[in-house]
Amino acid sequence: MAYFQSKPTSGRHFLQIPGPSNTPDRVLRAMDYPTMDHRGPDFGRFGKQLLEKLRGVFKTSQPVVVFPASGTGAWEAALANTLSPGDRVLMCETGWFAHLWQELAGKLGLKPELIETDWRRGADVAAIEAALREDKAHGIKAVCVVHNETSTGATSRIAAVRKAIDAAGHPALLLVDTISGLASIDYRHDEWGVDVTIAGSQKGLMLPPGLSFNAISQKALKAAEGAGIPRSYWDWRPMLAANAQGFFPSTPATNLLYGLDAAIDMLMEEGLDNVFARHDRFAEATRRAVRAWGLEVQVEVPGEYSSVLTAVRLPEGHSANALRATILEKFNMSLGNGLGRLNDRVFRIGHLGDFGPLQLVGTLGGVEMGLGAAGVPHKPGGVQAAMAYLNGNA
Q: Kindly report the CATH class assigned to 25-268.
A: alpha beta
pLDDT at site 12: 87
Backbone region of residue 86 per phi and psi (left: phi > 0; alpha: psi in -120 to 50; beta: other values): left
pLDDT at site 4: 59
Question: Are the beta carbons of 125 and 158 closer than 8 angstroms?
Answer: no
| Collapsed DSSP state (helix, strand, coil) of residue 149 | strand
Cα(343)–Cα(253) distance, integer angstroms: 34
Number of Cβ atoms within 10 Å of the Cβ of 106: 11
What is the bridge-based pairing of β-strands 88-93 and 111-116?
Answer: parallel
pLDDT at site 142: 98
pLDDT at site 9: 74
> Which amino acid is residue 1, in one-letter code?
M
> Which amino acid is residue 13, in one-letter code?
H
Quote the longest CA-to-CA distance of the chain: 63
pLDDT at site 11: 85
Q: Is 278 annotated as a binding residue?
A: no
Q: Identify the helix (H) or strand (E) that includes residue 291.
A: helix 272-292
> Which amino acid is residue 204, in one-letter code?
G
Per the omega criterion (within 30 degrees of 0), is the bond before 18 cis?
A: no
Phi, psi of 247 (to 5 degrees): -110, 180
> Domain residues of the chain, as ranges?
14-22+271-392, 25-268
Phi, psi of 177 (to 5 degrees): -95, 115
Residue spans of the chain under pLDDT 50: 1-2
Alpha carbon of residue 78 to chain centroid: 15
Confidence (pTM): 0.96
Helix axes 382-392, 357-373, angle to 10 degrees: 170
Closest by CA to 272, choosing from 55, 60, 56, is 56
**Does the domain spanning 14-22+271-392 belong to CATH 3.90.1150.10?**
yes
Half-sphere exposure for 328 (CA within 13 Å, toward CB):
17
Give the dihedral of Cα atoms 30, 35, 38, 39; nearest 10 deg. -130
